[in-house]
């Protein structure tokens, strides 16, 4: 069904471009995009830009998730800490990333670090919220049972809180992997000399719309691959649920 839908979209795209006789810089045909993709793959430029963006995404994703898990657990276990920090965290989250990215570039330069920080910032809040909800989803009766059996804090964490939180955490992780790709592109839009976001900007300036389609398609492939990886890990770690 998914394959049929994809073929239908490509066919409709081809017919619209062919019948409308749009110039290439407005709406290229699918075969023109494929031809451009073959050229940038052959000269290695697409791989160089994709590798840069992928490194930014993975580094930012791991940083943001790691910090979110730590802060989320602390806020979930100590409600007074949540009452103190939550207003400030929510206020920081309300700042658009396109407005924060230039500031991070000024502070940390236009290199890899600023892009990683943008990715980390954009995934931090959703992962922190899902961590809080997940940790607090542990059933009260099981928590009382663990206490009655004098389980240690580590045993409660490893045997009850983590298994109860995992389904919710994976929901946040699905969202975070796609947001991390968006964060990398936003960071590259602000200032970069490589990366798929830079390639989109470059193709826009050159009116090379087929190249823009290639860059966007590569971004989507990265997002889909990361999302599929999360689904695979979810099925492996939560096999007892299926």
pLDDT in tens, 132-152: 888 888 777 777 777 777 777
What are 82-135's pLDDT values in tens digits? 777 777 777 777 777 777 777 888 888 778 888 888 889 889 888 988 988 888
What are the residues whose beta carbons fall under 8 Å from the beta carbon of 85, sequence distance 6 or more?
Answer: 75
Tens of pLDDT, residue by residue over 162-217, are: 888 888 888 889 989 988 998 888 888 887 778 888 888 888 888 888 888 999 99
Q: What's the Cα-to-Cα distance from 236 to each of 94, 146, 217, 230, rounded to whole Å?
A: 35, 26, 28, 10
Q: Quickly count: other Cβ atoms within 10 Å of residue 203's Cβ.
A: 20
Residues 138 and 209 sit within 8 Å (Cβ to Cβ): no
Three-state secondary-structure class, residue 26? coil
Q: pTM (2 decimals)? A: 0.84
Contact (CB, 8 A) for 133 and 168: yes
Pairwise CA distance, residues 61 & 119, whole Å: 6
- CATH number 1.10.3720.10 is the correct assignment for the domain at 29-236: yes
């Amino acid at each position: 069904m998914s394959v049929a839908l994809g073929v239908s979209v490509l066919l409709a795209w081809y017919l619209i471009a062919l019948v409308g006789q749009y110039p290439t810089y407005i709406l290229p045909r699918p075969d023109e995009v494929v031809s451009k993709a073959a050229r940038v793959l052959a000269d290695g430029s697409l791989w160089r830009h994709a590798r840069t963006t992928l490194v930014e995404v993975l580094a930012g994703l791991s940083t943001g998730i790691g910090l979110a898990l730590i802060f989320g657990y602390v806020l979930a276990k100590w409600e007074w800490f949540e009452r103190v920090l939550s207003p400030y965290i929510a206020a920081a989250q309300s700042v658009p990333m396109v407005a924060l990215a230039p500031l991070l570039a000024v502070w940390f330069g236009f290199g890899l670090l600023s892009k990683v920080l943008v990715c980390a910032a954009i995934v931090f809040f959703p992962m922190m919220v899902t961590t809080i909800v997940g940790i607090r989803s542990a059933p009260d009766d099981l928590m009382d049972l663990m206490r009655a059996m004098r389980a240690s804090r580590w045993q409660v964490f490893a045997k009850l809180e983590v298994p109860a939180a995992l389904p919710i955490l994976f929901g946040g992780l699905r969202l975070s992997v796609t947001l991390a790709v968006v964060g990398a592109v936003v960071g590259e839009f602000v200032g970069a000399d490589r990366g798929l976001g830079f390639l989109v900007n470059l193709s826009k300036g050159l009116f090379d719309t087929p190249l823009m389609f290639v860059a966007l398609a590569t971004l989507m492939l990265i997002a889909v691959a990361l999302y599929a990886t999360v689904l695979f890990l979810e099925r492996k770690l939560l096999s007892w649920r299926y």
